[in-house]
Amino acid sequence: MNFDPRYSGRNFSSVGTRPIRPDGVDKVTGRARYGADFNMAGQLVGRVLRSPHAHAVIRKIDTSKAEKLAGVKAVITAADLPDLTDGDTAMYDILDNSMARKKALYDGHAVAAVAAVDARTARQALKLIEVDYEVLPHVTDVDEAMKHHAPLINDAIFTEGLEEKPVKPSNVTKLTQYGHGDIHDGFAKADFVIERSFKTEQTHQGYIEPHACVASVNPDGTADLWVCTQGHFVYRQHCAQLLGLEVSKLRVTSSEIGGGFGGKTHVWAEPVALALSRKAGRPVKLVMTRDEVFRASGPTSATSIDVKIGARKDGTITAAEATLRYSCGPYAGMWAEIGAMTAFACYKLENVKTVGYEVLVNRPKTAAYRAPSAPMAAFAVESAVDELAKEIGMDPVEFRIKNAAQEGTRASYGPVYGPIGIGPTLEAVKSHPHMKAPLGTNQGRGMACGFWFNFGGQTCTDLNIGMDGSVSLAVGTVDVGGSRASLSLVAAEELGIDYAQVKAVVADTSSLGYNDMTDGSRGTFSSSMATISAARNAIKVLRERAAQMWDIGVDDVAWEKGHAVAKGEKHGNLGKLSLKEIAAQSGKTGGPIAGHSELVADGAGVSFATHICDIEVDPDTGSTRVIRYTVVQDAGKAVHPTYVEGQYQGGAAQGIGWALNEEYIYGKDGRLQNPGFLDYRIPVCSDLPMIDTQILEIPNPNHPYGVRGVGETSIVPPLAAIANAVSNAVGVRMTHIPMSPPRILAALEAEREG
């Protein structure tokens, strides 16, 4: 059956309602099983030895004493994970990050691991492993790493993207450029030009659940991996390749996930656990400590960004330029490239140019964090946009409305937009009561816009109808934000049945066809498309069975509101057949009834949001208090509005923490000084106001229901909105995130002295 993914306006009965999520009771009662909740008979405890140095050659590792300790069943080093990547640089980086080979490249880099009968023995064994290091100079700052005299982290890296191939290795792995028009001509036409430099510090996703897995490699070559992940199919591919296993013989089951936000899209300890199990001949459970999560799993990039924007007196932007430098840890990344793509995506620009530099530093391998790279770019651009509007004498909202991208606009990164929501979000903000509310002493208001691409990708779904009329929906996208509820609503909508009749499960890798990683806000978008397709395939079977039961042609059977209906006057004596009635007779009419779908969900639909923030700043201490916050965002179609609002609020909350408090702090020795929630301070309830939300619905033309991804865009505007609010409150432009009290006081002092 051919599937048409195009949007078709329709009225909904299930989609758009707010039922209770199916996993809610298990989660609040403690029955839900997360990564560390799974156990296997005879399992061992895995522990990892990590480098105390930011940059060091590993001269020798002596594991003999640890191997002799009673209760130790396996000790591994890089020698137990031979290079099977066949020249695949990206996979080699994953391998080297899982277990250091020639050099330790950051504080916390894994250099050896043990499996023992209990945690105490494992810890003792780690102390007995002797590592001979040759400590090397290190660099942890993105700007310092670009200087010609900076310590070279990888002598095999030669900058890509240059007109001429470089002859010397560099810490700059890649240069990426986007744009169109003539920026020199554009700036020449400008009456006002703002040029600023900005910095953002490295942050962690802050998920509550640490990385955890149980690995079991069996004597027959098969293996099982239970793991908290955002993409068990991708984990299967990576782990199988790194360990030389046949993909079909590795089964990966995803646990419930206690937060990911992009941080659980990469393998970290899983290949190590599998290698330990293979060597020990027993299952191995490996759970990271919080210290390890901070030191050795992927945070976001630190950045250094220059922005220049020019405009005429009437407020028309004539040119915009940005140079973005993003740290990517000790391995090549694509983070500056994404920043360069998203920086000016909200605006209609005739002349625009962005240049991104990927920069190696002696910090952990950078990972995705909810719209990765976009918040930093938006912070720089939206801060400059606000300042330019002030120079011209225009209201910041009106200035953005005048220059906002619209349908038919050529985006700064290349494509031409279809129906988009940036204009409607700005109009909604303009008329929102929040924008008209009075401010008190030492208070400021800021607003900012944000953009994210969204992603679809390979998706596979099974829909099975039981003889009692119940529906089991098996999906391959991990539920990171309530997607099982949303997908159940979609199945109920298509089949015309009650939501309570549908149960959605996340299938393991042996039970369903391949699914891409649950990232790029693709979970509900792609799997709802596959669910619609699978349901329609099942409806085709239901119609065929009803036709058989009635002994009429299938073309004379329609499906309406959960029932088969005989069409035409000649069948006027036939009543309706419900899904349950047809399912009850399935054993007599041809067997089980099911629908299956595999597709590549293209056309995810870009997403825009505009945020408003009110903040109070104590000029004596530099302390800040967010007193009001509003999110306006286009969802395309909100399948489950409560969870859409939750995504909006979650992104805003994380953005508040990022803007005001959160940062990785490294000492002169290159070691992380705050690897825990006591010193790395994420917002708690008392730090946050009630976050108001407004859902807009500009249908995505590439989805039957008009759905767009919503999970990431909400973290893009907060850094800029809060920076604009703080700057307005204190009368000084803030250019360094986070805006912690010492930085605010320093900015005020510099203004007084200047």
75, 67 contact by CB (below 8 A): yes
Is residue 220 exposed (0-12), middle (13-18) or buried (19+ Cβ within 10 Å)? exposed
pLDDT, tens only, 681-695? 999 999 999 999 999
Instruction: Dig out the tokens for 201 from the structure.
Output: 């510090």
113 forms bridges with which residues in the sheet? 48, 76
Helix (H, G, I), strand (E, B) or coil at 136: coil
Write the single-letter amino acid at 621: T
> Where does residue 440 rank: exposed (0-12), middle (13-18), buried (19+ CB within 10 A)?
exposed
User: Looking at residues 363-385, what average pLDDT do you find?
Assistant: 98
Query: Residue type at 301?
Result: S
Q: How many other C-beta atoms can be found within 10 angstroms of the C-beta atom of residue 29?
A: 8
Beta strand 130-135 pairing with 172-180: unpaired
Look at residues 86, 478, 27, 110 and name the one whose alpha carbon lies nearest to residue 265: 478
Tokens 């098996």, residue? 474
pLDDT in tens, 494-551: 999 999 999 999 999 999 999 999 999 999 999 999 999 999 999 999 999 999 999 9
Kindly report the number of other CB atoms within 10 A of residue 102's CB atom: 10
Map tokens 């695949």 to a residue.
Answer: 88
Distances 738 to 184, 208, 658, 717, 722 between C-alpha atoms, Å: 33, 21, 6, 14, 10
Dihedral sign for Cα atoms in the order 48, 52, 57, 62:
negative
Rounded-to-integer distance, Cα 311 and Cα 320, Å? 9
The mean pLDDT of 78-94, rounded to a whole number, is 97
Residue 668 CB coordination number (10 Å)? 7
- Say what the pLDDT of residue 568 is: 87
Q: Hey, what are 439's tokens?
A: 């401010």
Distances (CA, A) of 608 to 426, 631, 660: 10, 11, 23
- Give 288-318 pLDDT, tens digit per residue: 999 999 999 999 999 999 999 999 999 999 9
Return the number of other C-beta atoms located less than 10 Å from residue 382's C-beta: 29
Distance in angstroms (rounded) separating the CA atoms of residues 353 and 340: 9
Whether 286 and 275 have beta carbons less than 8 Å apart is answered as no
| Cα end-to-end distance, the chain, whole Å | 71
Higher pLDDT, 570 or 371: 371
* pLDDT digit string, tens, across residues 196-246: 999 999 999 999 999 999 999 999 999 999 999 999 999 999 999 999 999
The identity of residue 141, as a single letter, is D
Write the pLDDT tens digit of every residue in 694-716.
Answer: 999 999 999 999 999 999 999 99
From 259, 212, 197, select the one nearest 653 (Cα to Cα).
259
The confidence score (pLDDT) of residue 1 equals 57
Taken in order 260, 365, 607, 382, the sign of the CA dihedral is positive
Inter-CA distances, 685 with 656, 660, 682, Å: 12, 15, 10
